[in-house]
Copies of this chain bind each other. A is one copy, B any other.
Amino acid sequence: MSSFHSVQWLDKGVVRMLDQRKLPHETIYNEYTTAEQVAEAIHDMVIRGAPAIGAAAAYGLCLVGAHTRHDSATGLQIELNEAAETLRQARPTAVNLFWAIDRMMNRLNDPALDSIEALQAAALAEAKAIAAEDVAINKQIGRNAMPLVPDGATIIHHCNTGSLATVDYGTALGIIRMAHEEGKNVFALVDETRPRLQGGRLTAYELQQYGVPFQVIVDGASGHFMRVKGVDLCVVGADRVAANGDTANKIGTYNLAVVAHENGVPFYVAAPTTTIDLATPTGDEIEIEERPALEVTTVGTWQITPDDTPVGNPAFDVTPAKYITAIISEKGVAYPPFEKSLAALMANE
């Protein structure tokens, strides 16, 4: 386990999150007692990463149960459904958020849960199951990926997909971590990942802790490293994978995938099945969140651009399936054609 926790339930009815906006310079844990606060923390990216925000939303619903002012199960269920709606609005692209909320509400709308106490217990049990499963899923993704990672591989990674982006261990970064733990002498090239610099701030922070050798590079340098220095594979996470394999992930992923394709470098997406959304036929149907200009115009307290600079700041992009070598889930590795392989994977219980 890691020495930090992206999100934790404290028994007194508090959700604690590591404020990732402050990393790596300050390690500050924020405490939340309402679902609205959790929704705001997700929106403001105190916590980010598809699996982590799913777990955070699940715990957010536990807060509603813990602090309800209702005295009937029916009243609390109405309150829970309202809170679920608020949490759903926090971010539009990552499907785990919706998946975790749906799973929680499927459980909590059960009429058999006919007391406040029963709802509280069911919420907490479900949220803790989501969190525990996430860690197990991530490790299984790592195990499934190991045959794809050669000894001595140089690996480009985009954004942060480690313990900070999940409940623990990580998806794409979990693969790099496991390869390192297995003694494979891997070397990571860390895309810094503008605008929020999750690579330079968070992935560098995690890799230092794990002892994985790495270099941070600017996003625009990935192709140069492939062409001149030699890169063996790229591995990234996913915020949503459509039925045809098109993958929404952090802005910059598409450029990386195209350049990898052009250089014959395998491009892998690490995606728990909770991010695979068969209800979305292609990437064209995925809503892309536009985020504030301030993320581009300033870094920390430092303003980069002239005053009043107009900015385009899509938080994600869609990588068409044709650039993806394989999608690595906890249920197995899917290869093209992804319509078939992802459907088979999801049917596999």
Contact = CB atoms under 8 A, between A and B. Distances in A.
Contacts of A309: 200, 204, 208, 216
Contacts of A311: 215-217
A296 interface: yes
**Top-3 shortest CB links A-B:** A220-B252, A300-B302, A224-B317
Interface residues of A, number: 59
**Which label, helix, strand, loop or mixed, suits the secondary structure of the A interface?**
mixed
Contacts of A227: 254, 317-318
A130 interface: no
A186 to B, nearest CB: 15
Interface stretch (A80-88, A175-183, A187-195, A337-345): A187-195
A312 interface: yes
A306 B215 contact: no
A198 to B, nearest CB: 11
A24 B258 contact: no
Interface string A242-266: 0000000001111110110110000
A297 B300 CA distance: 12
Nearest to A218: B194
A239 to B, nearest CB: 14
A208 B306 contact: yes
Nearest to A196: B218
A28 interface: no
A223 interface: yes
Contacts of A314: 221, 224
A237 to B, nearest CB: 15
A219 B197 CA distance: 12
A291 to B, nearest CB: 11
Contacts of A189: 312
A306 B204 contact: yes
Contacts of A78: none
A219 to B, nearest CB: 4
Contacts of A213: 310
Interface of A: 24-25, 189, 191-195, 197, 200-201, 204-205, 208, 213-225, 227-228, 251-256, 258-259, 261-262, 288, 296-297, 299-306, 308-314, 317-318
A189 B224 CA distance: 22
B204 A218 contact: no
Contact of A299 (B193, B205, B288, B304): B304
Given A192-B304, A194-B192, A255-B222, A217 B296 contact: yes
B304 A251 contact: no
A19 to B, nearest CB: 16
Contacts of A296: 192, 200, 216-218
A313 B259 CA distance: 18
Contact of A194 (B219, B288, B303, B308): B219
A300 B304 contact: yes
A217 B255 CA distance: 13
A308 B225 CA distance: 21
